[in-house]
A = this chain, B = another copy of it.
Amino acid sequence: MANRDRTIENLIEQLNRLPGIGPKSAERLAFHLLRIDTEEALQLARAIEQVRAAVKTCSRCSNLDAQDPCSICMDGSRDATMLLVVEDPREIARFEDVGYKGRYHVLGGRLSQLEGIRPEDLTTSQLLARVQKDKPAEVCLATNPDLEGEGTARVLAERLVPLGCKVTRLARGLPAGSSIAQVSASILADAIEGRRSLS
């Protein structure tokens, strides 16, 4: 780009590498970072540096935390009989928010034929080793309720069931607050199939 400063171009390029940030958004963000107080812009730079300096992957559960093993794995007050398997570490915060008190295992993704992601690309062997060693009463496969999440759960269940633990999956059904007139056919089909007895 003629007459545009090289450092601005570089910042736009770096921002453009982020997921969901196209060239136009990257340009808008770069000029925002130029317009605001220097201190405010540098706070973001420092936040990135600090997070990369401080945060480690937990060698037990693959959660991200300032300590390894992570603070959840080290918390003796948590229910060690329950292991919740998630795709991504950020999903842990969702379960914490709703008061889940068991332990976690982070897969680091989901199986995908399309993207060529196989069991050995995830923390599958660590999960199996952990279940064999710790013998939790229940392993809940909390992968996402979509095609690849379901497929991942099915593959993991095949390997976990022989280890003798109870293997579960999160409930599927009507989202709280939804309207039956509005939800999709597949949601409604889930809701019928998973109906609960009140009697």
Chain A residues within 8 Å of B, Cβ to Cβ: 1-8, 10-11, 13-15, 17-21, 25, 27-34, 38, 40-52, 54-55, 64-66, 71-72, 75, 88-90, 92-93, 96-97
Contacts and interface: CB of A to CB of B under 8 A. Distances in A.
A48 B8 contact: no
Given A20-B25, A28-B20, A33 B5 contact: no
A11 B92 contact: no
14 contacts: A3-B96, A5-B66, A7-B50, A8-B51, A8-B64, A10-B51, A17-B40, A18-B33, A27-B93, A31-B88, A33-B51, A34-B89, A44-B45, A45-B45
Copy count, this protein chain: 2
B44 A48 contact: yes
B5 A54 contact: yes
A96 B1 CA distance: 8
A126 B192 CA distance: 69
Contact of A43 (B14, B25, B55, B71): B14
Given A3-B72, A31-B89, 18 more contacts: A1-B93, A2-B97, A4-B92, A4-B96, A5-B66, A6-B66, A7-B50, A7-B54, A8-B51, A8-B55, A10-B50, A11-B51, A15-B47, A31-B88, A41-B51, A41-B52, A42-B49, A45-B45
